[in-house]
Amino acid sequence: MEKLRKLLAKTRNQDLILQGSLVKAILFLAIPIVINNFIQSMYNLTDSYWLGLLGSEHQAAITLVSPVQAVIISFGMGITVAGAVLISQYVGAGDEKNGKQMTTQIFVCAMIFSIVCAAICFFMTPTILKWLGAKGNVYDYSVSYLQIVVLDMPFLFLVNIFTSVNQARGDTVTPMLLNLSGVILNMFLDPLFLKFFGWGAAGAALATLFAKIPCAIAAYIFLRNRNNPFRISFKGFKFDKNKLKSIVKIGLPMAIGQSTMQFGFLLMSKNVLEYGDLAVAAYGIGNRINGIISMPSNAAGSAVATIVGQNIGAGRADRAENAYKIARRIIVIFLFCGGMILSFYPISTSIVKIFSKDGQVITWAADFLSIMAFCCFTNGIHDTTKGLFQGSGHTLILMVIDMARLWIFRFATIYIGREWFGMDVECIWYSVVVSNAISAFILWVLYKFKVWKKNSVKIV
């Protein structure tokens, strides 16, 4: 416990981020984020594993509804992303008073949004799934799963606020430990509800919901702790016009970009559904495994955003840029080497077999995984450069690129694959890597033109 206490104290020390070794700062922030992201993904992976044992229809159901949930969550994430950027700048400037006020503003906005959206999504679930083309058992399983799982949105957003506040301060370990406790509980509840009680898709959703509640309670207690300099305080609370403008200026483009991108994923699921339930199941498995592969680059991007935000707040733009270049170099090399290994078909097939026993699903999912792994190094360029622009407040640019990645590059690749090259379901697989690579290239070009330095958002 003493070692853990010292570790947590160190993560809250901004000296490393503002003055210390950038390599250490990047690794110190990114490694816990990787672990935390993996832990969070275990909610869906655990559901996917146990539902896969019940059959491909259950697997297809969770794949179909995941993008629906992600659309709503991604829009709300704009609020918490804005909070992370703005609070990190207050941290860099040493302004605890405004940092605490910003935390409270973020909390109130996120809670209102999550409760309203959870209610709307609950009642709209049947209509949404009919529009997606779900039928028979897949429709029934999807409705029961989604209507329950959306109820965890207020709890999820509370945990996300907790994560954003701590990450902005340079503490990525505490959120990791909190999420670990939730996943352990979920891993216990899933087999209990699915196998012992036989509740199927509804049981998986209930397990996720019940696992999030205690984590949210713990997060709220921490955010209200008087020893936390960036705590939530309702004393004399009122909406601050200037702070709300900052949240909207940074958060709204991220919200629009992420939610429209997720809506594009929703349409991707609709496209995949044309090839049948087995294709949907394979697509879902491939995406979930790809999510794990992408975790290091996502973590590097988050670390860059925190370091850039704090250093811009402290007036050190050159140090912010150096952090980005170091992080990009590290993660591209790491993903290139790891991707080459995972792209070997025997390895990708062995991984996919964990989640399905259906021969056709295994074949399609292994193909998808091999293609994505081979090109995953481009994610390193995309995510670290995204972190640079996010940390400097250029979220409007990210919105445009996120929208183009799905709505232009990905769907155009699908069309060209089908119409020009006569591809079958594999055109879906190639559309993912092509669109990711094009987006990474565009972000890199914008970096070379130093767009991120122009009109950087500063709160001090």
Query: Is 439 in a helix, a strand, or coil?
Result: helix
**How does DSSP classify residue 151?**
G
Q: What is the pLDDT of residue 13?
A: 54
| Cβ density class 199-237: b for 16+ within 10 Å, e for less | bbbbbbbbbbbbbbeebbebbbebbeeeebebbbeeeee
Q: What is the pLDDT of residue 78?
A: 73
Beta carbons within 8 Å of 231's beta carbon, 6+ residues apart:
100, 103, 223, 224, 225
The Cα–Cα gap between 209 and 100 comes to 29
CA-to-CA separations, 404 to 91, 261, 408, 438, in angstroms, rounded? 33, 8, 5, 10
Q: What is the pLDDT of residue 14?
A: 65
User: What does R_g of the chain's alpha carbons equal in angstroms?
Assistant: 21
The Cα–Cα gap between 341 and 10 comes to 35
- Judge whether 282 and 423 are in contact, CB under 8 Å: no
Residue by residue, pLDDT tens for the chain (460 residues) are 344 344 444 444 567 788 888 888 888 888 888 887 777 777 766 776 777 677 767 767 777 777 777 777 776 677 777 777 788 878 777 777 887 888 888 888 888 888 988 888 888 888 888 887 777 777 888 888 888 888 888 898 888 888 888 877 778 788 888 888 888 888 888 888 877 787 877 888 888 889 889 999 999 998 888 877 778 888 878 888 888 888 888 877 877 777 777 777 667 767 777 777 778 778 878 877 877 788 889 889 988 988 998 888 888 889 999 999 999 999 999 999 988 988 888 888 888 888 777 888 888 888 888 988 888 899 999 999 999 998 888 888 888 898 888 888 988 998 898 889 888 788 888 888 899 999 999 999 999 998 888 765 555 4
Q: What is the pLDDT of residue 10?
A: 44
pTM across the whole model: 0.75
What tokens appear for 235 in the block?
A: 């004393």
What tokens appear for 454 in the block?
A: 């122009």
